[in-house]
């Protein structure tokens, strides 16, 4: 799998061979949402691909003001792939965003920030390549309804796999009785696993758009799934997350279902994570490998972990950027919130995969989730890791015991730091701890990001009563 075209000339040849009628130019905003504008193929020329396409940046959340709204999309034709869902042949192209007022890559463009992070690592002489391998879990439901009004609020999720449907008479069909139950969904076969065919379709379409698929399976929670894909360089891995989300959501939609990457949509069952495998390389050598060390991880790899853990509270503002993120990190649901590392032990925030040799040794950060913008999440972890390498940070660990069995007091007694407990906490930490980001992230971006998250997520969430608050407080 991989690239379909390598340059502008091949792009036009590929489009002609596939009778492409439309070109869909896509870019990512600071919250990770994919946006697009579609051009007729006949209206696209090499000059536009090389010089950029104009668009209005003032209509995108947390971007340009109305008086400086003109921006350029800079297409990267090497990312082109055919859209598998459109009625007419359409080719999708990833774009970076260019600031015409400062004549530079836009400082709020996540993809450009990720590229600058790679350039920074190279300029330090530390690494010339970074590989990332995200694992995005998702839920697939039969329906979702929600309301958020001044006098009412609530949601209702339904899936045929939900244990609450065990006594549902189903007037138009019989009740099969085969359901995974709460926390019972890991690796069951059909009919308990009700999505074998849909996942197979997802896997095939993911391959059509250029991803190399390894496996697919049911996850722990009811209606929860995961499809594993091969790692890539940092930008390619983040691009793949955008493709992955698009395909998963569309295949579910076309099968009469709805897919979500929301970290914790259901109370009492496991949530969705985005475990991220990472390694740094230079001159073709894996810098995280040292045979004979614990789990074969080099001192540089340990320092990289130490940097991420040192800055974890502010890193979380990007890796766990929703108020819902912290409902997933509560103890009791395989929550990777204890900041230590281990080989094999999945209860640690960082796992070093078992049995990895020189080519595969890596660190796996288990606390991120898919509400993150992948470009920003990867860039922030790498910047924290680079800071750890420069300052020889040593994390607490290794700890091979089951950390889920430790009480909060025991965790504190052992001196093990934890992830923040709220989005507010992570954003306040970002205000105090951001110097490690400064070589790449501008003050303007950091302030805009923090302010946006407070206005869009924290304050509205904190101001709303919940059903549980009525349950516990109404009769006071």
* Distance between CA atoms of residues 136 and 160, nearest Å: 22
**Distances from the Cα of 373 to the Cαs of 165, 193, 245, 433, in angstroms?**
35, 30, 12, 20
Whether 179 is a known active-site residue: answer no
* Distance between CA atoms of residues 368 and 134, nearest Å: 9
- The total of other beta-carbon atoms located within 10 Å of residue 156's CB is 9
Whether 10 is a known active-site residue: answer no
Whether 393 is a known active-site residue: answer no
User: Is 425 annotated as contributing to ligand binding?
Assistant: no
User: Is 299 annotated as contributing to ligand binding?
Assistant: no
Q: 174: which 2 tokens?
A: 């019989």
H and E: helices and strands count for the chain: 14, 19
Of the residues 366, 424, 450, 453, only one is catalytic, namely 366
User: Is 226 annotated as contributing to ligand binding?
Assistant: yes
User: Is 271 annotated as contributing to ligand binding?
Assistant: yes
User: Is 313 annotated as contributing to ligand binding?
Assistant: no
Q: Do residues 206 and 229 make contact, with C-beta atoms less than 8 angstroms apart?
A: yes
* Distance between CA atoms of residues 321 and 331, nearest Å: 19
Backbone angles phi, psi at 127, to 5 degrees: -150, 150
Whether 36 is a known active-site residue: answer no
Three-point CA angle 245, 251, 256, nearest 5°: 125
Whether 226 is a known active-site residue: answer yes
Q: Do residues 375 and 28 make contact, with C-beta atoms less than 8 angstroms apart?
A: yes
Backbone angles phi, psi at 259, to 5 degrees: -110, 145
Of the residues 29, 96, 107, 137, only one is catalytic, namely 137
Whether 135 is a known active-site residue: answer yes
Whether 70 is a known active-site residue: answer no
* Distance between CA atoms of residues 60 and 302, nearest Å: 39
Strand-pairing partners, residue 213, are: 229
Q: Do residues 275 and 134 make contact, with C-beta atoms less than 8 angstroms apart?
A: yes
User: Is 464 annotated as contributing to ligand binding?
Assistant: no
Residue in 355, 365, 358 with CA at minimum distance from that of residue 306 = 365
Of the residues 219, 239, 269, 393, only one is catalytic, namely 219
User: Is 207 annotated as contributing to ligand binding?
Assistant: no
User: Is 346 annotated as contributing to ligand binding?
Assistant: yes
User: Is 9 annotated as contributing to ligand binding?
Assistant: no
Q: 457: which 2 tokens?
A: 């997520």
**Distances from the Cα of 374 to the Cαs of 88, 209, 242, 327, 380, in angstroms?**
29, 18, 8, 20, 10
User: Is 334 annotated as contributing to ligand binding?
Assistant: yes
Specify burial of residue 458 (Cβ count, 10 A radius: 0-12, 13-18, 19+).
Answer: buried
Of the residues 99, 160, 364, 369, only one is catalytic, namely 364
Residue in 309, 308, 303 with CA at minimum distance from that of residue 394 = 303
Of the residues 83, 160, 161, 226, only one is catalytic, namely 226
Of the residues 35, 120, 178, 346, only one is catalytic, namely 346
Radius of gyration of the chain (CA): 23
User: Is 410 annotated as contributing to ligand binding?
Assistant: no
* Distance between CA atoms of residues 362 and 277, nearest Å: 6
* Distance between CA atoms of residues 241 and 243, nearest Å: 5
User: Is 455 annotated as contributing to ligand binding?
Assistant: no
Of the residues 26, 111, 275, 351, only one is catalytic, namely 275
Strand-pairing partners, residue 95, are: 75
Give the helix/strand (H/E) hosting 55.
strand 53-56
Whether 401 is a known active-site residue: answer no
User: Is 275 annotated as contributing to ligand binding?
Assistant: yes
Of the residues 16, 56, 61, 402, only one is catalytic, namely 56
Of the residues 135, 369, 387, 393, only one is catalytic, namely 135
Whether 56 is a known active-site residue: answer yes
Annotated binding site for ATP: 277-279, 346
Annotated binding site for L-glutamate: 270-271, 328, 334, 346, 366
Annotated binding site for Mg(2+): 135, 137, 219, 226, 275, 364
Annotated binding site: 135, 137, 219, 226, 270-271, 275, 277-279, 328, 334, 346, 364, 366
> Which residues carry out catalysis?
56, 135, 137, 219, 226, 275, 346, 364, 366
């Amino acid at each position: 799998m991989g690239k379909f075209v390598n340059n502008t000339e091949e792009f036009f040849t590929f489009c002609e061979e596939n009778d492409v009628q439309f070109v869909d130019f896509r870019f990512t905003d600071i919250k990770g949402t994919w946006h697009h504008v579609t051009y007729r193929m006949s209206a696209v020329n090499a000059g536009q691909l090389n010089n950029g396409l104009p668009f209005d940046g003032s209509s995108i959340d947390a971007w340009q003001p109305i008086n400086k709204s003109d921006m350029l999309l800079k297409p990267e034709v090497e990312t082109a792939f055919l859209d598998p869902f459109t009625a007419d042949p359409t080719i999708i192209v990833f774009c970076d965003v260019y600031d015409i007022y400062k004549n530079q890559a836009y400082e709020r463009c996540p993809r450009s920030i990720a590229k600058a992070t790679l350039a920074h690592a190279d300029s330090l002489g530390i690494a010339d390549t970074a590989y990332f391998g995200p694992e995005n879990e998702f839920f697939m439901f039969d329906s979702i309804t929600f309301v958020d009004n001044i006098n009412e609020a609530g949601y209702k999720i339904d899936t045929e796999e939900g244990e609450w449907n065990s006594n549902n008479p189903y007037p138009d069909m019989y009740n099969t009785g085969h359901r995974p139950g709460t926390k019972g969904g890991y690796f069951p076969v059909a009919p308990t696993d009700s999505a074998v065919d849909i996942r197979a379709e997802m896997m095939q379409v993911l391959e059509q758009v250029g991803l190399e698929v390894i496996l697919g399976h049911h996850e722990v929670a009811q209606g929860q799934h995961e499809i594993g894909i091969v790692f890539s360089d940092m930008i390619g891995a983040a691009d793949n997350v955008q493709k992955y989300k698009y395909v998963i959501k569309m295949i579910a939609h076309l099968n009469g279902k709805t897919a979500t990457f929301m970290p914790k949509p259901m109370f009492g069952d496991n949530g969705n994570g985005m475990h991220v495998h990472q390694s740094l390389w230079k001159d073709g050598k894996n810098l995280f490998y040292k045979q004979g060390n614990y789990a074969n991880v080099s001192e540089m790899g340990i320092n990289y972990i130490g940097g991420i853990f040192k800055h974890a509270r502010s890193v979380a503002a990007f890796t766990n950027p929703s108020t819902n993120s912290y409902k997933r990190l509560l103890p009791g649901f395989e929550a990777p919130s204890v900041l230590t590392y281990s080989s094999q032990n999945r209860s640690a925030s960082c796992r070093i995969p078992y049995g990895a040799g020189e080519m595969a040794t890596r660190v796996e950060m288990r606390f991120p989730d898919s509400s993150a913008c992948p470009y920003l999440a990867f860039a922030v972890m790498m910047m924290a890791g680079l800071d750890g390498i420069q300052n020889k940070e040593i994390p607490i660990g290794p700890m091979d015991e089951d950390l889920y069995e430790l009480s909060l007091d025991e965790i504190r007694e052992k001196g093990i730091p934890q992830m923040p407990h709220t989005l507010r906490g992570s954003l306040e930490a970002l205000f105090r701890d951001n110097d490690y980001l400064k070589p790449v992230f501008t003050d303007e971006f950091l302030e805009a990001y923090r302010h946006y998250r407070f206005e869009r997520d924290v304050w509205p969430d904190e101001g709303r009563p919940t059903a549980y608050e009525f349950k516990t407080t109404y009769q006071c």
